[in-house]
Structure 1
Amino acid sequence: MAVEIPPLITPSHLRRRGGLWGECLAEFLGTLVIIAFGDGVVAMAVAALPGSGRTEGPTAFFLGAGDWLLVTWGWAFAVAFGVYVAGGVSGAHLNPAVTLAFAVRRRFSWAKVVPYWISQVVGAFVGAALVYAVYHDAIHTFDQAMKGPKTNGHTLSSFSIFATFPAPYFHGGVWGPLVDQIVGTAFLLLLIVAVVDLRNTAPKANLGPLVIGFAVAAIGISYGANAGYAINPARDFGPRLFAYAAGWGDLALPGSLAGSFSHYWWIPIVGPLVGGLVGVLVYDLFVGDVLHIRAQQATPPEPGRTRGTPSQEE
């Protein structure tokens, strides 16, 4: 807004927010927004819509493959708005994989990495708590109506509101979900750095956050079924911690379900951290380095052209 907005905090207390503390607050709130809308859309799909009589039955959800679009677009909006909220203060990493990749290749201060990570995880935890507070009755009703194995009265389906787990066709294996998370996050970082690179065809008029949201939707549509496309350690671990505290027990930590998977909790952390580094390195190797050398040239060629073309007279 163009008008001057007076601060809510007195100047003596406000000065501390001008540096790292303010950036951490922005990372906290931006990540909270992502989880509040992201976990919120899963709660809608899994528990609230069935329980409110808007599907065929109290436990009926995802009747067709197209229903998955509700979740993927919900997460896309969640990420876009989270970036809009925090971008002007912290750069809106909102993802430990982004923070690590930027520290390695974008000169982001290593001293800020751990504070950013903590802020992101805490924001994700609080966002999950907010979703649970809003949808507690729907989740409880869904778990009561749902048949099958339960942990402390909770089901794997209701756990999916908060955190991720591998598809049954992996048969509890580690490498399939781990590779999935590496690949998905590599694409995420590749697309993020492409979008924010002003040397490239960067979006104008502050459309970057929206395009990044589209990138998250694309990953969910193309790679979401394998392991729930966490592609963000904070997005998975913060809500996982909350789910553990709220009674989901072993489903959350260590992330085990007898006969299906065990000790899964670390995969949505390690996979994205590795994948983020892969994505930023691939972008810089194939595109970033080319843009760098062209920027050093006095008259860089037009995109798609490597050297001048002879004139018609020649």
Structure 2
Amino acid sequence: MLNRRVLRVRNPLIRECMAEFLGTFVLLLFGCSAAAQVKTSRETKGQFLSVNMAFSVGVMSAMYLTKGITGAHLNPAVSLSFCVLGQVPWGRLVPYFLSQLLGAYVASGLVYLVYYDAIMEFSGGVLTVYGPNETASIFATYPSEYISLGSSFLDQVVGTGMLMLCILSLGEKRNTPAPPELIPAIVAAIVLGISMSMSANCGGAINPARDLGPRLFTLTAGWGTEVFTCYNYWFWVPLVAPLIGGVLGTFMYLIFIHWHLPDPDPPESLTPLSTISDKVLQPSTMWDNGEVLKAARL
């Protein structure tokens, strides 16, 4: 029988990175597998909505799987936003991002292996980014031909901003907090809503790791450098815009909602009101229930 104490990783950062890796792996495995099924079957075994729903199920599954360790960020934009709030140490940002990126890359590789025959039959063995038989969009996101660079950047900022704006309220005890055990399902519904309403322009990545990891995989698996040079080097948009959007959505929540909620009831052993008021304004005391907040991190 395996000895759990022997196998347990003792370094907290390594444990957290393992959780972020596995959570992002699960998210991308669901989503990219659905994209491969829909694309290679020419929409006879699913449609665009199938991909949206699969990514949402992936979010929910990954959150239930890993939220007890890191809160299940699964997204560098989410990690950055919680660093800005003071809820996550800045030293965790890069390790989390690299773990999420690696999870997305490995998941893409597994999807490629599972759907290899279908991809080759669909593409005629020619892996391309453009044309009716392109298969690069199974993995990373690409813009529609009609959209300008500025509009696609705005698209990603708005989508990620909505994500953070909506999930930050889920653990707020002074508002209407969600039951902790339902938060993954609620976050999945939020992601589904964003995907169904804001993914026509450029795929709705709203997650730098979700886009860059698969893009790096396609670079190394045969699609070549065109995955980065296509559409006038568009690849940086889903990498940069979600980071900005996540922070903007976080500040919108603070400015419009959080700073205007009623002060929490003082404990029976009263402390000076000025002290309570000062603490309420500090990011480190923003949520009373740390476990609920952790679960709300996408």
Shorter-chain TM-score: what band?
0.7 to 0.9
1:116-195 paired onto structure 2 within 5 Å: 116-144=96-124, 151=128, 157-170=134-147, 173-195=148-170
Quote the Cα distance in structure 2 between the aligned partners of 1:269 and 1:253. Answer: 12
**Is 1:281 matched up with 2:240?**
no
Q: Is the 8 A contact 2:26 2:62 kept in 1?
A: yes
1:211 Cα offset (Å): 0.6
Q: Is the 8 A contact 1:154 1:248 kept in 2?
A: no
Provide the identity percentage. Answer: 39
Q: 1:199 to 1:166 in 2, by over 3 A?
A: same
Deviations 1:186-217 (A, max 9, x none): 00111121223333322215010111011111
1:232 Cα offset (Å): 0.2
Q: 1:202 to 1:106 in 2, by over 3 A?
A: farther
1:211-290 paired onto structure 2 within 5 Å: 211-254=186-229, 256=230, 261-290=231-260
Quote the Cα distance in structure 2 between the aligned partners of 1:219 and 1:152. Answer: 25
Q: Is the 8 A contact 1:144 1:153 kept in 2?
A: no
User: Tell me, what secondary structure is at the counterpart of 2:234?
Assistant: coil
Alignment root-mean-square deviation, CA: 2.5
**Equivalent AA in structure 1 for residue 154 of structure 2:** V
Deviations 1:87-116 (A, max 9, x none): 011110010000000000142111111110
Q: Which runs of 5+ in 2 are unaligned?
A: 268-298
Q: Is the 8 A contact 1:186 1:280 kept in 2?
A: yes
TM-score by length of 2: 0.83
User: Tell me, what secondary structure is at the counterpart of 2:175?
Assistant: coil
Q: Is the 8 A contact 2:143 2:203 kept in 1?
A: yes
Moved over 6 A (4+): 152-156
1:224 Cα offset (Å): 0.7
Quote the Cα distance in structure 1 between the aligned partners of 2:132 and 2:101. Answer: 24
Larger Rg: 1
Quote the Cα distance in structure 1 between the aligned partners of 2:119 and 2:255. Answer: 46
1:68 Cα offset (Å): 2.3
Deviations 1:62-97 (A, max 9, x none): 8xxxx3221211111111111111101111001000
User: Tell me, what secondary structure is at the counterpart of 2:135?
Assistant: helix
Partner of 2:294: none
Quote the Cα distance in structure 1 between the aligned partners of 2:252 and 2:157. Answer: 13
Q: 2:66 aligns with which of 82, 86, 89?
A: 86
Quote the Cα distance in structure 1 between the aligned partners of 2:155 and 2:173. Answer: 29
TM-score by length of 1: 0.79
Aligned residue-pair number: 268
Partner of 1:39: 32
Quote the Cα distance in structure 2 between the aligned partners of 1:253 and 1:16. Answer: 39
Deviations 1:5-35 (A, max 9, x none): x8x5663552424x11101000000000000
Partner of 2:22: 29
Partner of 1:295: 264
1:272 Cα offset (Å): 0.2
1:151 Cα offset (Å): 3.5
